[in-house]
Amino acid sequence: MKKTNPKAKDLNHATADPKGVLTGVHFMNGDQSACEGALAAGCRFVAGYPITPSTEIVERFASRIPTVGGVFIQMEDELASSIAIQGAAWAGLKTMTVSSGPGFTLMMEHIGLAAMLETPCVIIDVQRAGPSTGLPTLPGQADMMQVRWGSHGDYEVIALVPNSPQECFDLTIQAFNLSEEFRVPTFVMMDECVGHMAERVVIPPAEKIKVFNRRYTTLPIEEYLPYRTGKDLVPWFVKAGTGRRFHITGLTHDERGYPTMNAEAQGKLVHRLVEKIRTNAEQIVRFEEEDCEGAEVIVLSYGITSRVASRAVEMARKQGIKVGRFRPIVVWPFPEKRIRQLAGMAGGFVVPELNYGQISLEVERLVAGKVPVTLVPHGGGTVHQPEDILRAIREIVRL
């Protein structure tokens, strides 16, 4: 039995602009599909810098966007790309940049800026094996904590993890919608395998694609403050050139957007930056689970690893083990509530990932020692052998 968590409040207010939607059935790889997702979501500005294995996204955007009506600019580096998109966002566009490991590392500075300015923008990281230059053409999943914590200071982000080219399309649209709604940098955490594997991708007609358009302030100039918020803690947007003469800064600021150099302002600001995601987390999280309640073992995996894990789950079931599958689709914020529940209903967790323990730490934190959590680590460069995951499953049930 497959189910997803109850559908979050319907976020979306509009349908896609048909100009950007390549309706039809396609055979394309995850990179290309993510690009189409961005176009369908209404992204009209991409700044990028070439890096394997994400380059196909910007290549496709460079080729497609002049036929749709938008701008692609290849910047001098990822630092520039990740802030050029923020300039364009403050002029009113939906914007995106794209990178992989080393380039993603360079973007950390502006992930912090986007969090601080509350710039809606999407960043795709097609993960490769690291650290450093690592294995440029081969997969990794070791940026999962970096995306959560990589820039200095306290902030929250939203990150989604597709495991197929179809999901690269769907989740990129979702990333734009979430980013626009919550005004946080939002990430699509692909990996080289998902980016480069080609599969059937169905792009629906524009009227079937829901998009969330930015909420601009309607308050008169005298009443509007760039960072005053209501209950949802998300300020409504203002764009340049509308006569409001607003100021924004990466310094700690007050509701006016003016630098305010004291602990009180800092506390207030950071509290809101964090709480606007934490209090809305249940509405943001998405996951897919199968036979988890009462399972002897739950295999929790994401991205390409979730597909390898499926094979291991099948093998284990053939051996008579009750195995559940859990796949976070939104990985940040993490589905904390559900994992805590499942910790009381299952015999243990196996977490295979292409790193030496990142999401497994989150699972351990939530399970809090109630049941065993086994990491199946992998250095990247290829995917797990299903047998390695199976072995971990069998160890938990002590077969």
The sign of the CA dihedral 25, 26, 31, 35 is negative
- Tell me the two tokens of residue 31: 């990179």
The minimum distance between CB 280 and other proteins, in angstroms, equals 27
- Contact between 372 and other proteins per CB under 8 A: no
- Contact between 77 and other proteins per CB under 8 A: yes
Cα distance between residue 324 and residue 298, in whole Å: 4
Contacts (CB under 8 A) with other proteins, residues 86-125: 86-93, 95, 109-110, 113
Cα distance between residue 49 and residue 381, in whole Å: 23
Q: Which of 8, 12, 23, 68 contacts other proteins by CB under 8 A?
A: 68
Which SS3 state, helix, strand or coil, does residue 185 take? strand
Contacts (CB under 8 A) with other proteins, residues 8-27: 19
Listed residue (354, 233, 241) closest to 304, CA to CA: 354
Angle between helices 336-343 and 359-367 in degrees, nearest 10 = 60
**Nearer of residues 24 and 259 to other proteins, judged by Cβ:** 259
Stretch that binds other proteins, among 74-82, 202-210, 286-294, 364-372 (CB under 8 A): 74-82
Cα distance between residue 46 and residue 48, in whole Å: 6
Binding track over 159-198 against other proteins, x by CB under 8 A: ----------------------------------------
Please report the DSSP string for 321-373 in residue order: --EEEEEESEEES--HHHHHHHHTTSS-EEEE-SSSSSHHHHHHHHHTTSS-E
**Nearer of residues 5 and 260 to other proteins, judged by Cβ:** 260
Binding track over 291-320 against other proteins, x by CB under 8 A: ------------------------------
The minimum distance between CB 234 and other proteins, in angstroms, equals 20
- Tell me the two tokens of residue 103: 């380039």
Q: For other proteins, how many residues bind (rule: CB under 8 A)?
A: 47
- Contact between 207 and other proteins per CB under 8 A: no
- Contact between 335 and other proteins per CB under 8 A: no
Contacts (CB under 8 A) with other proteins, residues 242-281: 242-251, 258-259
Q: Which of 30, 37, 48, 70 contacts other proteins by CB under 8 A?
A: 70
322 neighbors 273 (Cβ within 8 angstroms): no
Please report the DSSP string for 28-92 in residue order: EEHHHHHHHHHHHHTEEEEEE---TTTHHHHHHHHHHHHHHS-EEEE-SSHHHHHHHHHHHHHTT
**Nearer of residues 238 and 393 to other proteins, judged by Cβ:** 238
Q: What residue ranges bind other proteins (CB under 8 A)? A: 19, 44-45, 47, 66-71, 73, 75-77, 79-81, 83-93, 95, 109-110, 113, 239-251, 258-259
